[in-house]
C-alpha cells in the first residue's frame, strides 16, 4: 500500500484526481506540443500582405468581425470551437476508454499538415494554414494515441472547418441571388400578386423601382449557419452514417427555401402594409422567423429518418386487420 501511494503525484485529500508519474509526463509533453502548435500558427500563421498581424487566429477573427464583405457570412465562427469542445466533453468516456499506442500513420498526417501550412505560407493563403491546423489537431492525437482514439475525434476536429472563411464560397452568392429572385417571383405570382424580375431586383406595385436582393440576402449566411447546426444535430440524433449525411444534405435545400420564402414574404408585407415597414422592421427580424422554421423542418426530417419503418408498417397492418 505504501509503494502504491508513493507513485501518486496528487493527493485525493485535496479532491484532485491522483495521477501516476508517467501520466503527468504525458500531460506535460502534450501541453508542450499544444503550446508549440499555438505559437506556430500565432507567430508564423499569416503571410498575407497589408495585414498587421502574423497570427492566423487574428486573421480569422478579423473576418468573423467583418460586417461588410464576405467574412460576415462567418459570424457564427465564434461558436464553432465551443461546440467542438462540448462534443469532446460529451464523448469523453468513450475517448478515454480506448486502448492507446503510438501510430506512425498519425505522424504521416502531421507531416502532411505541416506541408500544407508551408504551402499556405508560400502562397499567402491563410485559409490553407487554418486547414492544416485542423489536420494537426486530429493528426497529433492520432500519432500519440493511435487510431482507436483518432476515429473518436474525427467529427469534433472536422467540425472546426466551419470556422474557416472559404473565399471560393463567394462565387455561389450571385447564383443564389438569381435563384432566390426567380423562385420568389414565382411564389408571388402563384399567390396572385403582380411581380416581375429584372436581374436580382423584384418589381412589385408598391416598389416600382424594385426590391434588390443584395449579397447579404443571397442566403449564403443562413446556408452556412444551417449546415453547421445540422451537422451537430445529425451527429447526435442519427444512428447510421448514411442517415447523418442525408439529414446534413437536407439542410442545404431547407436553408435555400427558407431564404426564398423570406424574400417573398417581404414583398407580400410591402404590398399589404407598405414598403417602409417591409424593408425595415420585417426585413430585420424575418430572418429569425424563417430560420426557426428551417430548424423545425430539420427536426422533423431527423425524426422521420429515425422511424423504424418495419415497426410502423406492422402497427398499420395490425390496426387495419383488427379494427375497433
DSSP code string of 262-299: HHHHHHHHHHHH-HHHIIIIIHHHHHHHHHHHHHHHHH
| Percentage of the chain modeled with pLDDT above 70 | 87
Measured CA to CA, the distance from residue 287 to residue 112 in angstroms comes to: 41
What pLDDT, on a 0 to 100 scale, did the predictor assign at position 88? 93
What pLDDT, on a 0 to 100 scale, did the predictor assign at position 314? 74
Answer yes or no: do 139 and 10 share one domain.
Answer: yes
What pLDDT, on a 0 to 100 scale, did the predictor assign at position 3? 43
CB 26 within 8 A of CB 12: no
158-173 pLDDT tens trace: 999 999 887 667 677 7
Q: Is the pLDDT of residue 17 over 70?
A: no
In angstroms, how far is CA 62 from the centroid of its own chain?
A: 18
For residues 58-83, average pLDDT? 78
For residues 319-324, average pLDDT? 66
| Residue closest to 160 by CA, chosen among 128, 135, 143 | 135
206: exposed, middle or buried (Cβ count in 10 Å: 0-12, 13-18, 19+)? middle
For residues 188-201, average pLDDT? 87
Least trusted range by pLDDT, from 65-79, 119-133, 204-218: 65-79
Confidence of residue 133 (pLDDT cuts 50, 70, 90): very high
Answer yes or no: do 227 and 150 share one domain.
Answer: no
Provide the 10 A C-beta neighbour count for residue 65.
13
Number of domains in the chain: 2
Answer yes or no: do 14 and 133 share one domain.
Answer: yes
CB 45 within 8 A of CB 120: no
Q: Which of 131, 147, 165 is the last residue of a domain?
A: 165
What pLDDT, on a 0 to 100 scale, did the predictor assign at position 27? 75
The 10 Å CB-count burial string (b at 16+, else e) for 279-296 is eeebbeebbeebbeebbe
User: Can you give the pTM of this predicted structure?
Assistant: 0.81
Q: Is the pLDDT of residue 1 over 50?
A: no
For residue 302, the enclosing domain spans 171-311
What pLDDT, on a 0 to 100 scale, did the predictor assign at position 2? 41
Confidence of residue 48 (pLDDT cuts 50, 70, 90): confident
Mean pLDDT of the chain: 83
**Angle of CA points 203, 209, 214, to nearest 5°:** 75
Least trusted range by pLDDT, from 99-113, 215-229, 304-318: 304-318
Q: Is the pLDDT of residue 14 over 50?
A: no
For residues 236-263, average pLDDT? 92
* H or E, element range at 197: strand 196-198
Answer yes or no: do 8 and 127 share one domain.
Answer: yes
For residues 274-288, average pLDDT? 85
| 83 Cβ neighbours under 8 A, 6+ residues apart | 159, 232
What pLDDT, on a 0 to 100 scale, did the predictor assign at position 6? 41
Q: Which of 143, 165, 187 is the last residue of a domain?
A: 165
Answer yes or no: do 238 and 147 share one domain.
Answer: no
What pLDDT, on a 0 to 100 scale, did the predictor assign at position 4? 44
User: Interhelix angle for 56-65 vs 126-145, to 10°?
Assistant: 120
CB 111 within 8 A of CB 19: no
Answer yes or no: do 179 and 212 share one domain.
Answer: yes
Amino acid at each position: 500500500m505504501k509503494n502504491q501511494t508513493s507513485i501518486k503525484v496528487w493527493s485525493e485529500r485535496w479532491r484532485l484526481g491522483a495521477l501516476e508519474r508517467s501520466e503527468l509526463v504525458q500531460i506535460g509533453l502534450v501541453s508542450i506540443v499544444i503550446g508549440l502548435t499555438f505559437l506556430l500558427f500565432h507567430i508564423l500563421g499569416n503571410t498575407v500582405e497589408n495585414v498587421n498581424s502574423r497570427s492566423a487566429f487574428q486573421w480569422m477573427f478579423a473576418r468573423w468581425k467583418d460586417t461588410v464583405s464576405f467574412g460576415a457570412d462567418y459570424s457564427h465562427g465564434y461558436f464553432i470551437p465551443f461546440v467542438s469542445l462540448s462534443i469532446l466533453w460529451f464523448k469523453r468516456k468513450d475517448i478515454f476508454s480506448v486502448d492507446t499506442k503510438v501510430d506512425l500513420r498519425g505522424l504521416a498526417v502531421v507531416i502532411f499538415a505541416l506541408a500544407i501550412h508551408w504551402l499556405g505560407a508560400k502562397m499567402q493563403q491563410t485559409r490553407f494554414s487554418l486547414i492544416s491546423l485542423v489536420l494537426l489537431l486530429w493528426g497529433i492525437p492520432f500519432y500519440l494515441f493511435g487510431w482507436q482514439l483518432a476515429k473518436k475525434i474525427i467529427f469534433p476536429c472536422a467540425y472546426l472547418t466551419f470556422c474557416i472563411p472559404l473565399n471560393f464560397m463567394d462565387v455561389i452568392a450571385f447564383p443564389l441571388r438569381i435563384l432566390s429572385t426567380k423562385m420568389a417571383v414565382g411564389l408571388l405570382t402563384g399567390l396572385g400578386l403582380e411581380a416581375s424580375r429584372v436581374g436580382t431586383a423584384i418589381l412589385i406595385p408598391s416598389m416600382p423601382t424594385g426590391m434588390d436582393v443584395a449579397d447579404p440576402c443571397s442566403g449564403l449566411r443562413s446556408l452556412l449557419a444551417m449546415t453547421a447546426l445540422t451537422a451537430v444535430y445529425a451527429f447526435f440524433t442519427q444512428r447510421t452514417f448514411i442517415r447523418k449525411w442525408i439529414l446534413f444534405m437536407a439542410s442545404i435545400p431547407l436553408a435555400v427555401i427558407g431564404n426564398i420564402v423570406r424574400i417573398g414574404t417581404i414583398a407580400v408585407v410591402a404590398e399589404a402594409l407598405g414598403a417602409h415597414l417591409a424593408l425595415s422592421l420585417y426585413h430585420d427580424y424575418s430572418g429569425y422567423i424563417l430560420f426557426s422554421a428551417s430548424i423545425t423542418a430539420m427536426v422533423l426530417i431527423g425524426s422521420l429518418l429515425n422511424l423504424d419503418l418495419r415497426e410502423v408498417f406492422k402497427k398499420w397492418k395490425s390496426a387495419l386487420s383488427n379494427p375497433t
